[in-house]
Amino acid sequence: MMNREDFGTLTPSLGELIQTIHESNHDSEDFISDTDTMALFSHYIHHKVALSDKNDITSLCKAIQKIIFNSADSKKTDGILSDVHINYGLFSDFFEIPFPDPEKPAFTFIDLFAGMGGFRLAMQAQNGKCVFSSEWNKFAQRTYFANFGEVPFGDITKESTKKFIPSHFDILCAGFPCQPFSIAGVSKKKSLGRETGFKDKTQGTLFFDVADILSRHRPKAFFLENVKNLLSHDKGNTFKIIKSTLEELNYSVYYKILDGKDYVPQHRERIMIVGFNRDLFHGEESFSFPEPTDRTFAIKDILETNVDGKYTLSDKLWLYLQQYSEKQKAKGNGFGYGLVDINGISRTLSARYYKDGSEILIPQNKGKNPRKLTPRECARLMGYPDTYRLDQVSDVQAYRQCGNSVVVPLITAVSQNIIKTITDYEQHS
């Protein structure tokens, strides 16, 4: 889909990069944060600097000095970062990572609302190269950097962040948050006989930024993921606006609710939305979502041995959860803790799991209270391999990240079908 030499045009030259940072940081309305500065460097290193090219890395070191010390006078900073630092692994964190880019990538993608990087793992498994990532949460940024060697850019709603998206890439990936849409303004315009566009319908929501990037860059395809309730939210109006917006941008749209239980021992239904650029495919692509695998999974398969006692519920918390459950049952509600059958699957893991672990509790022998899943077990529940690094953040943050993540093997299966669709069309057109 993409020639290897094309990757050289994905990012600016080092001189342009440095000049952009300096110019932006002299304009208070377009200031580049420290996080985005690090994002620039980490993306630059992966896209432009060969590991064997010490001259490029030395130039990058000098550029970092000038920015860190805010000095245009190289004499003042010479020697602070030297070849000695380079030889002793100054940039080891960028390269000694568990999930590097493929050596000979077949296509490019961007990773928006990146979280832990589930989409990135899925697309890299298809031989794709990530050329831009964005995630505003600083703890998720740490985890992402530890695994991929890149610091994601921050707030994607800001123009100062969007301008660093490469002009050309093949696929946009985004697990965008669901927000309510106001259709009052749209209805008023229609009553006046005036046309509306996606900016009118979606401005002020994070989906607008996805649509805006699609409109500007026109990638071959997109892959979006969201909660199941997106389909019924606001009596279906929210999804209606999303679908019509994507079609207005001239993309064929496919969507389906898929369950993670076909890939991991967890009931987790999510809506998958895939689109192909009609300017390129003319609506003639042949795409379908993966069929259920009919495989069975069990919680016991993801459990660790010799789990620290800190994950066992205290007597006070365990009593509270039991009493709360009884109160809810008396009211006719089904709310309560979820003591799992280790031979079966779990409820949906949520971002609030760190609070009490009530939705997924593991029974223990010898009269012990139930325990929470460990962060590693939560990562396994989302389909992350054990080589994935979690120890860059606290347990609380790791729980939050896992609860907000995509199910990696499910996203990988859909990604595989997307790439097959693109490849088949291009080979036969």
Q: What are 297's two structure tokens? A: 């999974």
Structure letter (DSSP) for residue 228: G
Sign of the C-alpha dihedral computed for residues 103, 279, 222 and 38 taken in this order:
positive
φ, ψ of residue 132 to 5 degrees: the values are -165, 135
Whole-angstrom distance, CA of residue 267 vs CA of residue 349: 9
Orientation angle between helical segments 206-217 and 237-248, nearest 10 degrees: 10
Orientation angle between helical segments 34-48 and 14-25, nearest 10 degrees: 170
- CA 407 vs CA 33, 123, 146, 175, 254: distances in Å: 31, 13, 20, 11, 19
Tell me which of 173, 178, 378, 402 is the catalytic residue.
Answer: 178
Whole-angstrom distance, CA of residue 40 vs CA of residue 43: 5
61 an active-site residue? no
How do beta strands 107-112 and 128-133 pair? Answer: parallel
- Phi-psi region for residue 235, left (φ > 0), alpha (ψ -120 to 50) or beta? left
Q: What are 415's two structure tokens? A: 């990604």
Beta-bridge mates of residue 107: 128
Q: Strands (DSSP E) along 136-184, which ranges?
A: 171-174
φ, ψ of residue 253 to 5 degrees: the values are -120, 130
DSSP 29-70: GGPPPHHHHHHHHHHHHHHH--TT-HHHHHHHHHHHHHHHTT
Whole-angstrom distance, CA of residue 405 vs CA of residue 378: 10
How do beta strands 171-174 and 107-112 pair? Answer: parallel
Whether residue 171 contacts residue 221, with contact meaning beta carbons closer than 8 Å, is answered with yes
Residue listed under structure tokens 């939305």: 273
Instruction: Kindly list the catalytic residues.
Output: 178
